[in-house]
Structures are given as structure tokens and as C-alpha cells.
Structure 1
């Protein structure tokens, strides 16, 4: 998961960013309109209402080390849903030894 930001405002709600999710199994991309200043709570609710409620729970989530994904709220969200979270920065550093 990651954000595409600095987009021109669009739609009734003036979305200016997009949350991009790629299913590693099917390679299916999911793109969700959002706002650059959305909080971790906004992101969790967006994920729940637009993705998890339609395709089911993920086993794990991989993203960059964005503060929204490393916040206490996001950690509780993962624990509640039984998901594991992996930061791309952590994986890269670990693999590089």
C-alpha cells in the first residue's frame, strides 16, 4: 500500500490523493480516492469500507514507513484484525544485511 499524492483536486469531495493497494496473489491493483491530509483513522475506515468488506481480510500488509501506517491506532487496527504489518524500509534493510 502507498499513496499517490499531489494530484489536482477532483470530484465533489475534492480528492487530491489516491491510496493504491496491490493484491500480491492476483496482482490486482485497487485505487481509492482520498485526501492528502487523511489520518490513520480515515485510512483504516477507507480500507474497511471499500476493500476488506468486499474482498475479505488480508493476511499481511506491506507498505513504506509512512507515519499513518506506524501509528498506535494503525497498530491496534492490525492487532484487532489479526494482520501482520511489514515496512518496506525494514524489509529492505534486513535483506541488505
Structure 2
């Protein structure tokens, strides 16, 4: 992330907030301790604008006013600012929650965000159909086109025509 705009999770940070963070980092003694020991720190790095990052996350100084401004910006956004799950050894970076509305039971399936609809249909068959049989309906909180494509791929994986 570089240039005049940055990204904090899924939230676009305005240039004035980036500038504010950069200036506040210069005045934070804890951050200077980290910067002075960068050669010993693997997870921290400075970008080309001398802004401190921990991996892909921006280090926010201990400045109550700045933190409040960031939280206000985050909560006024229609997007989630949660950075997501850490990647597993198998590169899973998301959890697919499948709920049986009748029994109120839930299955939590590790997946990757880049899985195709076909791959999700395979996982559904392996993990859900194996235990509960073929569902008569699927309700999705995603785009209706996703549910339609998923149902089509799922029935294909069963050997039926959609």
C-alpha cells in the first residue's frame, strides 16, 4: 500500500488520516523503539513514506483522538474493517457457515476466498450431503446469481441436470 491513499482492512483511508497517522507515529516513543530496532524485527517494516507497518497492517500510534477518528471513519463505512482470518497451513482464509434451519445446527467449513462455485459445490457435497443428504432448498445471503450458479454446479456434481 503506497501513494496518497492507503487501505486499512476493507476501508479506504483518506489522505489526511494517513498524514495524521504518519505525523503521530513520529511522536510516539513506542513506535520509535520499534523503528530503532527494525533490523531485529521481522514483522515490522517502514514503507517508502517512512510509515510503520506490521505485516500488511498499519501501526496506529497510541493517540486517543486519532484512534477515535479512525473508528468513526470505520463505523460510518458500509464495509467491514475486520482484516479477516489468518491463513492456515492449507491456505484457508475464510469460514463457510452452513446452517440447517430445521435443527438449528451449523457446520463451519474452512475455505479459501478464491474458491470457485464448482469447488464450493464439491465441498458442500463432501461435508454436508454426506452427513445430512441432499437438501430440497438452499438459502444464501449472497447474490442470487451465486445461489443459482451454486445450485447448478451442485446438481451437476450429483450427476443430475439443473
* TM superposition score normalised by structure 2: 0.40
User: How far apart in 2 are the matches of 1:39 and 1:79?
Assistant: 14
Determine the structure 1 residue equivalent to 2:96: 19
> Are 2:93 and 2:112, in contact at CA under 8 Å, matched by a contact in 1?
yes
Establish whether residue 8 from structure 1 lines up as the match of residue 92 from structure 2.
no
Determine the structure 1 residue equivalent to 2:135: 58
Change (3 A) 1:21 1:34: same
Whichever structure has more strand as a proportion of its residues is: 1
Structure 1 stretches of 4+ moved >6 Å:
none
Q: 1:47 aligns with which of 124, 136, 145?
A: 124
Determine the structure 2 residue equivalent to 1:70: 148
> Are 1:15 and 1:34, in contact at CA under 8 Å, matched by a contact in 2?
yes
Structure number, greater radius of gyration:
2
Alignment coverage as a number of residue pairs: 77
CA drift of 1:66 comes to 5.8
Higher relative contact order (CA 8 A, sep 6+): 1
User: How far apart in 2 are the matches of 1:66 and 1:18?
Assistant: 20
User: How far apart in 1 are the matches of 2:122 and 2:89?
Assistant: 19
